[in-house]
Amino acid sequence: MNGTHYIGFDLHKKTISYCAKQLDGSIQDEGIIEATRSTIREWAAQRDQEWIGAMEATLFTGWIYDELKPHAVKLKVAHPAMLKAIGASKKKNDRVDAQKIADLLRCDLLPECYMAPSWIRELRRMLRYRNMIVREAVRMKNKISGLLMETGSLYNKKRLHGEDYFSELVGNLTDVPPSVIQMLRLSRGALEMFQSVERQLIRRLRSDSQLKQRVDLLKTIPGVGDIVALTWVLEVGEVKRFSSIANAISYCGLCSAQRSSAGKDQRGPISKQRNRHLQTILIEAAKLAPRWNAQLAAVHEHELKLGSRNRATLAVARKLVAYLVSVDRLNQPFRLTTT
């Protein structure tokens, strides 16, 4: 491996700065290339020496990683929050950043993060888009309610978003400005559009053959539905990358930050270093899952006696993660035990 080059990449929207170093730290070559697929492929094809590359995780990392991976002996992605060597540098620019990444790579000190296969990243992008659509649909529902409250109109909260009831309500509104009627209809149209898009996305994800088996197994856990199972599979990727359930709980952001020094242990709020998409879905699921899962209901009841409702919800979410990890790792349906 003495002849192998270690290349650090500093990624930006339009350009990529790179620095290739030998094992002894001497710079082989460095420069800037245009951040386009054709330019990257051409640059990689011209490398006449084996190389190992590393780059920071950014919004642009995915497609650049896919273009460079076939040409590299090994390609790594660094965890941005852990690249303290770059953030603490006195002198910081694109060229220096690329050199620092190359140094960390050749010294085997790069804080590598997991890079999911391209097909999982594609479906994950679709699921996250669905989540954004759901948030926008909720905003439209709230806007419809707000417009009615602003004008003092009476309505049935439970039936408001039903198609027939909404049409009847808008048709019978009196003493309401025409502009409000128009905005109500526009908001309803946007809501229906968002709901239609969401259904299409979920249908597409459910039908994917690469996901179906894992999702069906996870759904054998009482309280786990399509969205929780899909989110777990696509956000986690390969469950074997977690060495323990505690690591999975930490990744999901369901444990508090810890600071321990001189024998003193201090616990803080829930850590911000987490997968926020998984955290959100698991917290929402933990509020409903005890209705269908006796074990989770017992956990919730026990923790509720010891503290607040939030504490009980977090305990249920952690237990839910333990179930998800076990079923996913063993590749077997969930079995409810009485012990």
- C-alpha to C-alpha distances, 319 to 161, 222, 285, 332, nearest whole angstrom: 34, 12, 11, 18
**Nearest 10 degrees: CA dihedral of 176, 182, 183, 189?**
130
> Distance (Å, rounded) from C-alpha 77 to C-alpha 57?
6
Structure confidence by residue, pLDDT tens digits, 52-85:
999 999 999 999 999 999 999 999 999 888 887 6
Confidence of residue 189 (pLDDT cuts 50, 70, 90): very high
Which residue type does 314 have? Answer: L
Strand partners, 9: 18, 55
Structure confidence by residue, pLDDT tens digits, 4-53:
999 999 999 999 999 999 999 999 999 999 999 999 999 999 999 999 99
Structure confidence by residue, pLDDT tens digits, 196-230:
999 999 999 999 999 999 999 999 999 999 999 99
The answer to whether the beta carbons of residues 101 and 54 sit under 8 Å apart is: yes
- Is the confidence at residue 86, as pLDDT, over 80? no
- Is the confidence at residue 255, as pLDDT, over 90? no
**Residue that wins the pLDDT comparison between 307 and 166:** 166
Instruction: Give the per-residue pLDDT at 267.
Output: 65
The answer to whether the beta carbons of residues 6 and 102 sit under 8 Å apart is: yes
Instruction: Give the per-residue pLDDT at 1.
Output: 45
